[in-house]
């Protein structure tokens, strides 16, 4: 038995409350090593009534197998350990380590424990986020609805974006496209920053309480949110709290008054007088125009929490996406979560993270994070054909195992964003690749987000190129892609199994990845052929409906053969 591989830790992604009734337990072992894992569990104050359950092998990555079980502790207290079996070898894995026997008198030194299930400590995510299909808008580039407020130097809509140029996109522009969004089928938008700031991206806030005048004003924004809500569309804003802009009044006050400024401690000034090159104060990266806010200072903390509350209370927004959130202290985010959920209990909090996000996703800080690891896997698998079917499945499994199930259910799954090249461009413009990736995104577990224009085939390399003005000339649209996206979005929105169903790989077919999404009410099979070669697969004698075409497919004599063209997907609703 590979003892080095065995891993479990309570109160982590390996053991957590899924809800007020259920505790999810996972165990990691070396791949293909164990024959069986038995979970022995009970109440430590009443161990005689302990129970046993065989854990299920729910997935594997390159190195490890993952076993899982769900238990419902009677008195909210859970003590447990594992019996791991390989051939004739049987060992116990406890908090104390691995052993052949456990001395009954010493049980209290061996249990793993979820000592008590408290709602206050649980990771509870908003229900609506599970049902959401997001659309990310970079407001300066989406639509110009009010040329009268466009910057003086506004470029023509069809010019090329540069790091510092402007195109005049604004809130009225978004407002006038709500019907477009509605038709596309999305039901949530995430807007990159909209508060006053000198740049086109507005990640250098001048005034957290003011809509950028080139975008509109409070009245227009409130109208936008209200119109979105009328159409069932939630609105999430971008919170840039790691740093302010250079022209943020408190920073300007420091520039003016130096150590006398009441805002001197709002930043981390190394040395007075200020120097900009290199900056003599903490900044985002090394940018002198983005002084880092001292969120450890209670005044700053309070200021930013008021901002967070204000936009919920004043404009009724539905959540915040948190910029550079890993460089802000956890203590700040804990208070942030409390403030935000108090203002709106089902507000959605999305962290901008690129990798390890577990420390922020244990119940006290974020609801979810941007799933860039998934982005990368989709690129490697669909866009580059760089990894095998098996490797893709393994990586996806690994990402799942990194988080609690309720987090996976609202993982912010994206193929591209304002911070990455566009997927289609990285796929060499190959539409079939994007379509496969989109089909995966829309049928996979988690909350999908479409970066504006992806649905009509917009391209773009790394920033600034990925921030081109939205293509509104339908003649330039890839209509096939557009209707494909529309179909996928509607499919997801109409099928509970795709939004909230369990996820399980189907390992039956070579060269085809397959998975099942399932709730008590429905069962959907997804098959993806990410290869040059078509093939037929037999999915057994079910009656299924092709979810995108609506065709009824009927098996006969125990066989139902499904044709998988090269680079194609089949989404099949099982008739029960």
Q: Compute how many residues bind a copy of itself; rule: CB under 8 A.
A: 59
Rule CB under 8 A: say whether 131 interacts with a copy of itself.
no
Structure tokens at 135: 């659309």
Strand partners, 556: 559
Q: Are 216 and 202 in contact (CB under 8 A)?
A: no
- Window contacting a copy of itself (CB under 8 A); options: 34-42, 326-334, 432-440, 554-562: 326-334
Q: Among 54, 109, 218, 552, which residue interacts with a copy of itself (rule: CB under 8 A)?
A: 109
Q: Which of the residues 33 through 92 are near a copy of itself (CB under 8 A)?
A: 45-46, 62-64, 75-77
Rule CB under 8 A: say whether 315 interacts with a copy of itself.
no
In the complex with a copy of itself, the residue whose CB is nearer, 12 or 549, is: 12
CA angle 119, 120, 123 (to 5 degrees): 75
Work out how close the CB of 88 gets to a copy of itself at its nearest, in angstroms, rounded to a whole number: 21
Task: Give the Cα separation of 110 and 119 in Å (integer).
Answer: 26
CA atoms within 13 A on the CB side of 257: 12
Q: Are 34 and 85 in contact (CB under 8 A)?
A: yes
Rule CB under 8 A: say whether 121 interacts with a copy of itself.
yes
Spacing of C-alpha 63 from chain mean position: 25
Active site residue 323: yes
Work out how close the CB of 332 gets to a copy of itself at its nearest, in angstroms, rounded to a whole number: 7
Phi, psi of 492 (to 5 degrees): -60, -45
Active site residue 352: yes
Q: Which of the residues 327 through 356 are near a copy of itself (CB under 8 A)?
A: 327-332, 334, 354-356
Q: Are 50 and 102 in contact (CB under 8 A)?
A: no
In the complex with a copy of itself, the residue whose CB is nearer, 406 or 420, is: 420
Q: Among 30, 102, 506, 574, which residue interacts with a copy of itself (rule: CB under 8 A)?
A: 30
Phi, psi of 427 (to 5 degrees): -85, 15
- Window contacting a copy of itself (CB under 8 A); options: 105-113, 137-145, 217-225, 343-351: 105-113
H or E segment to which residue 305 belongs: helix 298-315
Catalytic residue chosen out of the listed positions 323, 326, 455, 518:
323
Structure tokens at 238: 């971008």
- Window contacting a copy of itself (CB under 8 A); options: 9-17, 173-181, 307-315, 504-512: 9-17
Task: Give the Cα separation of 215 and 506 in Å (integer).
Answer: 48
In the complex with a copy of itself, the residue whose CB is nearer, 72 or 334, is: 334
Task: Give the Cα separation of 128 and 518 in Å (integer).
Answer: 19
Catalytic residue chosen out of the listed positions 61, 352, 367, 389:
352
In the complex with a copy of itself, the residue whose CB is nearer, 22 or 330, is: 330
Q: How many CB atoms lie within 10 A of CB 470?
A: 21
Do strands 535-538 and 552-554 pair parallel, antiparallel, or not at all (unpaired)? unpaired
- Active-site positions? 323, 352
Residues in contact with a copy of itself by CB under 8 A are: 2-5, 7, 9-12, 30, 45-46, 62-64, 75-77, 95-98, 106, 108-113, 115-116, 118-121, 282, 285-286, 295-296, 326-332, 334, 354-356, 358-359, 363-364, 372-373, 376, 398
């Amino acid at each position: 038995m590979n003892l080095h591989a065995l891993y479990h830790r309570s109160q982590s992604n390996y053991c957590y409350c899924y809800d007020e009734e259920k505790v999810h337990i996972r165990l990691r072992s070396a791949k293909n090593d164990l024959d069986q894992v038995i979970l022995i569990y009970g109440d430590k104050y009443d161990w005689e009534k302990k129970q046993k359950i065989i854990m299920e092998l729910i997935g594997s990555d390159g190195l490890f197998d993952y076993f899982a079980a769900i238990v419902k502790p009677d008195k909210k207290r859970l003590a447990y350990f594992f019996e791991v079996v390989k051939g004739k070898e049987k060992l116990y894995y406890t908090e104390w380590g691995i052993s052949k026997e456990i001395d009954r008198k010493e049980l209290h030194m061996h249990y793993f424990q979820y000592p008590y299930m408290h709602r206050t400590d649980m990771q509870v995510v908003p229900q609506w986020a599970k049902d959401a299909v997001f659309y990310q808008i970079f407001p300066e580039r989406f639509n110009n609805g009010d040329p009268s407020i466009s910057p003086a130097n506004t470029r023509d809509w069809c010019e090329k974006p540069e790091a510092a140029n402007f195109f005049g996109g604004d809130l009225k522009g978004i407002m006038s496209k709500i019907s477009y969004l509605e038709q596309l089928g999305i039901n949530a938008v995430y807007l990159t920053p909209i508060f006053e700031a000198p740049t086109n991206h507005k990640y250098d806030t001048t005034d957290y309480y003011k809509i950028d005048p080139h975008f509109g004003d409070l009245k227009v924004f409130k109208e936008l949110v209200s119109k979105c809500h009328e159409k069932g569309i939630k609105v999430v804003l971008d919170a840039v709290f790691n740093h302010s802009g250079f022209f943020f009044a408190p920073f300007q006050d420091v520039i003016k008054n130096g150590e006398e400024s009441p805002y001197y401690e709002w930043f981390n000034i190394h040395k007075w007088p200020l120097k900009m090159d290199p900056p003599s104060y903490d900044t985002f990266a090394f940018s002198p125009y983005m002084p880092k806010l001292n969120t450890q200072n209670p005044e700053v903390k309070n200021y930013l929490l008021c901002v967070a509350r204000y936009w919920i209370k004043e404009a009724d927004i539905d959540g915040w996406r948190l910029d550079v959130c890993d460089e802000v202290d956890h203590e700040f985010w804990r208070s942030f979560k409390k403030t935000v959920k108090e203002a709106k209990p089902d507000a959605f909090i999305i962290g901008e993270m690129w990798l390890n996000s577990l420390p922020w996703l244990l119940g006290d800080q974020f609801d979810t994070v941007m799933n860039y690891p998934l982005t990368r896997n989709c690129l490697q698998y669909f866009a580059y054909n760089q990894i095998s079917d098996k490797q893709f499945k393994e990586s996806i499994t690994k990402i799942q195992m990194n988080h609690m199930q309720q987090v996976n259910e609202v993982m912010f799954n994206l193929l591209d964003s304002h911070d990455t090249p566009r997927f289609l461009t990285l796929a060499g413009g190959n539409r079939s690749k994007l379509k496969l990736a989109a089909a995966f995104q829309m049928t996979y577990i988690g909350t999908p987000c479409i970066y504006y224009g992806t649905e009509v085939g917009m391209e773009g390399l790394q920033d600034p190129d990925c921030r081109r003005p939205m293509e509104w000339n339908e003649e330039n649209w890839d209509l096939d892609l557009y209707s494909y996206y529309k179909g996928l979005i509607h499919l997801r929105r109409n099928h509970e199994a795709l939004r909230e169903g369990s996820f399980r790989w189907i390992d039956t077919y070579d060269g085809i990845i397959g998975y099942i999404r399932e709730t008590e009410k429905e069962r959907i099979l997804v098959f993806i052929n990410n290869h040059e070669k078509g093939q037929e697969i037999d999915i057994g004698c079910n009656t299924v409906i092709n979810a995108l075409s609506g065709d009824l497919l009927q098996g006969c004599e125990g066989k139902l053969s499904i044709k998988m063209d090269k680079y194609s997907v089949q989404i099949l609703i099982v008739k029960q």
